[in-house]
Structure 1
């Protein structure tokens, strides 16, 4: 599993733990709604700015995205 897939898997886990839809997460993080599914599938190279937006929207530490 590469880093993009690991990030996407952890993003999805954190999102589901918060009972958020992909669309509601995107709105909260000020991202396009079509962006979240491609991140979760490991198709996107995510910038540090987007990582920060997602962490804030999920009220979590950035390190949570990189756990095994």
Structure 2
């Protein structure tokens, strides 16, 4: 998440505002201190202009799709 944000030359404050989060909340998410929901992950991915799958390696993402089969129907949205 941090690498993608830095690649896009965005500050944590920029992403947190795009998501509608307090900056301290986003900072703790990016630091790995806070667990997040799929909705929160979607908001961050959207704010960064990236598919959710960009936060995972292919193997991990495929395992998530297998574990949560209902996500399979939205696979195109997750990958863009």
Do they superpose with TM above 0.5? yes
Q: Which of 13, 20, 27 is 2:10 aligned to? A: 20
| Unaligned ranges ≥5, structure 2 | 59-80
Q: Which has the higher helix share?
A: 2
**How many equivalent residue pairs?**
58
Q: TM-score, normalised by structure 2?
A: 0.67
Q: TM-score, normalised by structure 1?
A: 0.77
Consecutive aligned runs of 4 or more in structure 1 exceeding 3 Å deviation: none
Between structure 1 and structure 2, the one with the greater Rg is 2
| Unaligned ranges ≥5, structure 1 | 1-10
Q: Does 1:39 align with 2:29?
A: yes
